[in-house]
Structure 1
Amino acid sequence: MNFTILSSVVTVISLFVFLGIVYWAFSSGNKERFEKMARLPIENEDGK
């Protein structure tokens, strides 16, 4: 396999993986969980 073709295939695969991660991070199903994790540093030890 030519190096140029291999490089192109790896680039396309990397693009799809990146887009999948972005979709997962911004999907509405994760919003509540991410908001809860974002509040952890400012909450007390007992969670209040």
Structure 2
Amino acid sequence: MDINHLRVLVTLVSLACFAAIVVWAYSRSRNFSAAAALPFAEGEESAAPLSGQGVRNE
């Protein structure tokens, strides 16, 4: 097995992984609607900055 066979194998494995991720992402069994709406949700927890962000110690 020379280096070109290894390169072809890595390329094919990468293509298969990419195709699997695309199929998983576009499958109808996944519902990303609730996760997509999270940045627009209003409430106490969304208004507070994360720890350390936006705080300046001078």
Q: TM-score range by the shorter chain?
A: 0.7 to 0.9
TM-score normalised to the size of structure 1? Answer: 0.83
Q: Which consecutive unaligned segments of at least 5 residues does structure 1 have? A: none
Distance 2:43 2:20 in 1: 34
Calculate percent identity across the aligned residue pairs.
36
TM-score normalised to the size of structure 2? Answer: 0.70
Cross-structure match for 1:11: 11
Relative contact order higher in (CA < 8 Å, ≥ 6 apart): 1
Between structures 1 and 2, the one with greater helix share:
1
Aligned length: 44
Q: Which consecutive unaligned segments of at least 5 residues does structure 2 have? A: 45-58
Runs of 4+ in 1 over 3 A off after TM superposition: none
Distance 2:33 2:4 in 1: 43
Structure of larger gyration radius? 2
Backbone CA RMSD of aligned residues: 1.2
Distance 1:4 1:21 in 2: 26
Distance 2:11 2:43 in 1: 44
